[in-house]
Amino acid sequence: MAYRRVPLHRRIGLRWLPVLLLWLLAWAGYFGAWTPHRAAGLVITGVDLAEYVKFLPPVMSGQIPIQREAFYLPLVSASLTATLVASRRSLPFGLRLLLGAAAIPLALAMLPPAWTPGLLRLPEFRLQTLAILACLTALPLTVLLRYLPDRAILLGIALLALAAALWPAWSFSRVLPAIRDVYRAALAPGWGFWLALIAQLGLAFYAIARAIMPNYVNLGRMRSRFLG
């Protein structure tokens, strides 16, 4: 019998392919330019903001109350989403293994620069340390998550995506005027901000829609029933 190549969308599954594409776009935007500048060294990415904002004078003085860890939420969402999708037994094993492996560096990207074990115990870094541990602990739990229905996994992904879209975007809008003052320029949010926001909202919308939609009807079986 001749070998017939199975299309990618069939191997991954129509339900999960948009999730993976939007997931990739979301974290690509997160690592892209949120504050653009002609000089590459002055471009601020989403992952930079968690450390950058604490040096802004209005944030240091308390004039702009903000939770800087909000800018790590896209990493939490990306890591946990990778773990949740990796738990789906309908996906190819190699893809599940790749997603599980991707969850680790996404979680570790929350480590502060020049970190040490002692540094992670300081109150300043306690929350992001707990977030890292939560993401890494969730990975071995895929052996249990695989028994959850797709609907529960999709709703979990939707909640993560909504949180990763709204809280960082609101926090960025609070600190953007202070960044403009530092740069002395009328800066607008960069392409990375918009790509991350749109992709996260798209992921949330898609996951909710797929969770509440009825299961696919086997059209082939129906056709054979009515035609012969």
C-beta separation of 83 from 142 below 8 A:
yes
CA distance 225 to 210: 27
Where in the sequence is the domain holding 73, given as residue range(s)? 8-227
CB contact set of 1 (below 8 Å; sequence gap of 6+): none
Q: What is the pLDDT of residues 131-142, one digit of tens each?
A: 999 999 999 998
Residue 121 has pLDDT above 80, yes or no: no
Dihedrals phi, psi of 18, to nearest 5 degrees: -60, -35
Q: Tell whether 2 is covered by a domain.
A: no
Q: Tell whether 40 is covered by a domain.
A: yes
Q: Tell whether 177 is covered by a domain.
A: yes
C-beta separation of 36 from 187 below 8 A:
yes
Instruction: Kindly state the helix (H) or strand (E) to which residue 73 belongs, with its residue range.
Output: helix 73-86
The pLDDT score that the predictor gives to residue 31 is 95
The total number of structural domains that make up the chain: 1
Q: What is the pLDDT of residues 26-55, one digit of tens each?
A: 999 999 999 988 888 889 999 999 989 989
pTM score, two decimals?
Answer: 0.84
Q: Tell whether 145 is covered by a domain.
A: yes
